[in-house]
Amino acid sequence: MLRYFAKLLVWTSIMITGAALIIASVLLHKYYNEWYNPDTTTHKQSDGTLIYSESMGNIIKISTYVLFGLTAIFFCMIMCMYNNIKISIAVLQTASVIVIRNMRILVIPIFAIAFTLSFLSVWIYSFGYVLAQANIN
């Protein structure tokens, strides 16, 4: 199944990451304009001064620009690595074929997790029993 949807999965995850960066940048910029920008905020005291500190506003403003910059760098990196992404999709498709042929690769971790959880539950029960036998003075 992964073999057929590898390309869609990779490009969807890349675009969702890019969209999340854009949305976070825009929301942080909107938050700055609403609460900290002296020109656009409506949240002021009666004498016209800002309710919140100017230094915090500067930090949020700089964070907004850094996030916009990281978003631009992310999309530039995606454009520069387009061929490498295509190669990695081909590798992922080949790896999915190998995993399907060797289902033990998927089954062994499930048994290991089940054994670890059962051991941990017995250990916690025994530890609780030992703690319950102690006298606290």
- Give the pLDDT of the chain (137 residues) as one tens digit per residue: 777 888 999 999 999 999 999 999 999 999 988 888 777 766 667 666 667 777 888 899 999 999 999 999 999 999 999 999 999 999 999 888 888 888 888 889 999 999 999 999 999 999 999 988 877 66
> 52's torsion region: left (phi>0), alpha (psi -120 to 50) or beta?
beta
Residue type at position 88 = S
- Which of these, 80, 85, 75, lies nearest to 25 by C-alpha position? 75
73 and 115, same domain (yes or no): no
123 and 67, same domain (yes or no): no
53 and 117, same domain (yes or no): no
pTM listed for this prediction: 0.67
The domain in which residue 114 lies consists of 103-137
Q: Please give the Cα distance from 54 to 36 (Å, whole number).
A: 7
91 and 135, same domain (yes or no): no
26 and 91, same domain (yes or no): yes
76 and 135, same domain (yes or no): no
61 and 112, same domain (yes or no): no
| Domain count for the chain | 2
64 and 110, same domain (yes or no): no
What per-residue confidence (pLDDT) applies to 42?
A: 67
What per-residue confidence (pLDDT) applies to 50?
A: 66
